[in-house]
Amino acid sequence: MIIILQPSATREERESLLADLKTKGYGVHLSEGVERTIVGVIGTPERDKENLIERYEALPCVERVVPILKPYKLVGRAFKPEGTVINVRGVQIGGSALCIMAGPCTVESAEMIVETARHVKKCGAHILRGGAYKPSTSPYSFHGMGEAGLKLLAEARDETGLPVITEVMDTRDVETVAQYADIFQIGTRNMANYSLLREVGQARKPVMLKRGWASTIEEWMQAAEYIVSQGNYEVILCERGIRTFETYTRNTFDLNAIPAAQELSHLPVFADPSHATGKRSLVKAVSMGAVAAGAHGLILETHPSPEMAIKDGPQSLSPAQFEELMLAIAPVAEVVGKQMAQPAQVF
Ligand code: PEP
Ligand code: MN
């Protein structure tokens, strides 16, 4: 259930309510909005079930108690009616900002990651992407440079000021990845890896959660709930295409998922047109569509020489195509009331 407090509720009243709930064995989460404070209350102990709503509604500091019947509660709109806005080194993710993350599928060398970082920054991207731990369908393909790749990402950040997003696949790597990255990426294959979700939920860094390639929107929301239930409220949802009968494209981009996820959740929603299409010729159009549908941002693959890329070359944009895409999405963003996010602050 959620407990909506009266605007006049005092700090003491709120603290005593929270203490009371915790003593009774509830999990308690706080959402402090501009107008209202909402308390998310998880797990009703059996002995406390009777007249629950009436009892809490009788408190003078409580405006309303609303039972939440959905299997996800903390990521739902009811808990936080205003959208979540995340700040990564001064880059706004969510709200009316459009944030672009771009870079290669995988880090290949110091030269290529710095060259890519410089180029995407020049074109107006905000965050550098690049895999160091790569999931691969085949056990025999390249699995990334590991910690050496993380170091190169951090060097590219030092050089350009762009914050870094990279995938973490294993609970044993969370601490190491946290030392270098600004945002954890949970890939499509790990959306339902619940121990990994819990682990990043305990870290204090934003997490991009890609939708599982065969997951429903509700399953995706519940995966996000795993992270948030551990106390990490900084989750970014990312639609990256789902598997359908279509084989012309690598996946099928589910445009519905963008407004649907925004209707259901307060979390920022991104799109990944690179993995959704698998074809660089389609990436610009799908990016424009995603922005028009209200996405808070895009994550895109680009490579200095896509034909030489170790991974995901066919869907990686050339430097010129990336520049063209950035020019194409700016007016679309404006039409839907979004502005390009401000660049990162360099400290
Ligand atoms: C990636 O971003 O390179 C990646 C592997 O993405 P996904 O998990 O969506 O396949
Ligand atoms: Mn990739």
Chain segment 123-171, per-residue pLDDT in tens: 999 999 999 999 988 999 999 999 999 999 999 999 999 999 999 999 9
The answer on 98 and 26 residing in a single domain is no
Does this model's pTM top 0.95? My answer is yes
Q: Same domain, yes or no, for 275 and 139?
A: yes
pLDDT at 334 over 80: yes
Residue 6's CB is within 10 A of a number of other CB atoms, namely 16
- 145, 240, 243, best to mutate for ligand 1 pocket (most atoms within 8 Å of CB): 240
- Nearest ligand to the CA of 273 is 1
Decide if 76 is inside a domain. Answer: no
Interior angle at CA 237, CA 170 and CA 156, nearest 5: 65
Select from 280, 299, 302, 301 the least CA-distant residue to 291: 299
Structure confidence by residue, pLDDT tens digits, 7-32: 999 999 999 999 999 999 999 999 99
- Does one domain contain both 142 and 14? no
Ligand 2 centroid–CA 95 distance in Å is 27
Q: Which of 33-37, 66-70, 108-112 has the highest mean pLDDT?
A: 108-112
| Predicted pLDDT of residue 336 | 98
Question: pLDDT digits over 163-205, tens only?
Answer: 999 999 999 999 999 999 999 999 999 999 999 999 999 999 9
Q: Report the nearest-CA residue for atom 9 of ligand 1.
A: 188
Could you read off the pLDDT of 206-261 as tens digits, one per residue? 999 999 999 999 999 999 999 999 999 999 999 999 999 999 999 999 999 999 99
Residue type, 342: Q
Contact 157, 93 (CB under 8 A): no
19 class by beta-carbon count within 10 Å (0-12 exposed, 13-18 middle, 19+ buried): exposed
- Mean pLDDT (the chain, rounded): 96
Could you tell me the CATH number of the domain that includes residue 34? 3.30.70.1140
pLDDT value at 45 more than 90: no
Structural domain harbouring 216: 86-340
Q: Which atom of ligand 1 is nearest to 185's Cα?
A: 2
Task: Give me the mean pLDDT over the 26-40 stretch.
Answer: 93
- Whether 273 maps to a domain, the answer reads yes
Domain shared by 185 and 327, yes or no: yes
pLDDT band at 59 (very low <50, low <70, confident <90, very high): very high
Say what the pLDDT of residue 204 is.
Answer: 92
Q: At what angle do helices 280-292 and 319-335 cross, to 10 degrees?
A: 20
Domain match, 188 and 55 both: no
Output the domain CATH number for residue 297.
3.20.20.70
| CA nearest ligand 1 atom 6, residue | 187
**Are 109 and 61 in the same domain?**
no
What pLDDT shows up at residue 44? 76
Task: State whether 6 and 140 are in the same domain.
Answer: no
Instruction: Inform me whether the pLDDT recorded for 347 exceeds 70.
Output: no
Q: How many domains does the chain have?
A: 2
**Same domain for 54 and 97:** no
Tokens of 99: 């944030």
Q: Report which bound ligand comes closest to the CA of 253.
A: 1
Q: Could you report the per-residue pLDDT of 261-317, keeping only the tens digit for each?
A: 999 999 999 999 999 999 999 999 999 999 999 999 999 999 999 999 999 999 999
* 39-43, 98-102, 144-148, 272-276: range with lowest mean pLDDT: 39-43
User: What is the secondary structure of 154-167 as a DSSP string?
Assistant: HHHHHHH---EEEE
Candidate of 210, 299, 302, 311 to mutate for ligand 1, largest count of ligand atoms within 8 Å of Cβ: 210
> Which residues line ligand 1 at a C-beta cut-off of 6 Å?
105, 131, 135, 187-188, 210, 240, 272, 275
The phi, psi pair for 218, rounded to 5°, reads -65, -35
Closest approach atom of ligand 1 to CA 105: 3
Shared domain for 187 and 238, answered yes or no, is yes
Query: Of 38, 69, 100, which marks where a domain is finished?
Result: 69
What does the CA dihedral 100, 291, 320, 149 come to, rounded to 10 degrees?
30
Of 69, 98, 116, the position where a domain reaches its end is 69
Maximal C-alpha separation, the chain: 67
Quote the CA–CA distance of 316 and 116 in Å, as a whole number. Answer: 12
CA gap 59, 133 in Å, rounded? 51
Q: What is the average per-residue pLDDT within 92-108?
A: 98
pLDDT at 46 over 80: no
**25 and 165, same domain (yes or no):** no
Q: Is residue 296 part of a domain?
A: yes
CA-to-CA dists, residue 347 to 37, 149, 160, 189, angstroms: 33, 23, 11, 35
